[in-house]
């Protein structure tokens, strides 16, 4: 579809970083952390970024704050299940921010009731 071509032609490079575990893992009973051999993973994808300013119509949603980033990626891009997923945009690290209800509906990019892009809300890590 055309949106895939638009991303490939005009999208920004976004680096995804996450951790997978090599071999068997166990959970530390005291801390709840995963014990095993971590394997750092990366993938470069294309996305459209929208940075939220203090004076934008999006500020009507309390979950969206000035400085947040809306990232549109291909609707089939795998994001879930990636442990410790970090998005690197122009050298800065961002993490996914949970949103619900009307906000989640508002930020989805739809056309004729079809989801065109998968939109995630990001907050810069400190």
Of the two residues 119 and 124, the one the predictor is more confident about is 124
Q: State how many domains the chain has.
A: 1
User: pLDDT band for position 47 (50/70/90)?
Assistant: very high
Pair 96, 120: CB distance under 8 Å:
yes
Residue with tokens 């890590």: 125
pLDDT digits (tens, 9 = 90+) for 75-119: 889 998 898 999 999 999 999 988 766 555 555 566 666 777 888
Of the two residues 119 and 40, the one the predictor is more confident about is 40
Can you name the residues that pair with 46 across neighbouring β-strands?
A: 13
* Dihedral of alpha carbons 83, 102, 69, 120, sign: positive
Provide the whole-model pTM: 0.77
Pair 9, 41: CB distance under 8 Å:
no
Pair 72, 42: CB distance under 8 Å:
no
For residue 47, give the nearest of 124, 118, 110, 103 by alpha carbon.
Answer: 118
Domain boundaries, position 97: 2-124
User: pLDDT band for position 7 (50/70/90)?
Assistant: low
CA-to-CA dists, residue 34 to 8, 19, 29, 87, 113, angstroms: 36, 11, 10, 22, 40
Of the two residues 16 and 26, the one the predictor is more confident about is 16
pLDDT for residue 18? 96
Can you name the residues that pair with 51 across neighbouring β-strands?
A: 69
| Structure-token pair, residue 16 | 């995804």
CATH number of the domain that residue 56 is part of? 2.40.10.270
């Amino acid at each position: 579809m055309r949106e895939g071509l638009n991303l490939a032609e005009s999208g920004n490079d976004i680096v995804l970083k996450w951790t997978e575990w090599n071999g068997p893992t166990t959970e530390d009973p005291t801390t709840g952390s995963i014990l095993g051999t971590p394997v750092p993973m990366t993938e470069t994808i294309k996305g459209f970024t929208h940075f939220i300013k203090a004076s934008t119509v999006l500020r009507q949603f309390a979950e969206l704050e000035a400085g947040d980033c809306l990232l549109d990626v291909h609707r089939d891009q795998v994001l879930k299940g990636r442990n410790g997923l970090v998005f690197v945009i122009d050298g800065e690290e961002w993490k996914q921010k949970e949103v619900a209800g009307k906000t989640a509906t508002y930020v989805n990019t739809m056309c004729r009731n079809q989801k065109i892009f998968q939109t995630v809300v990001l907050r810069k890590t400190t």
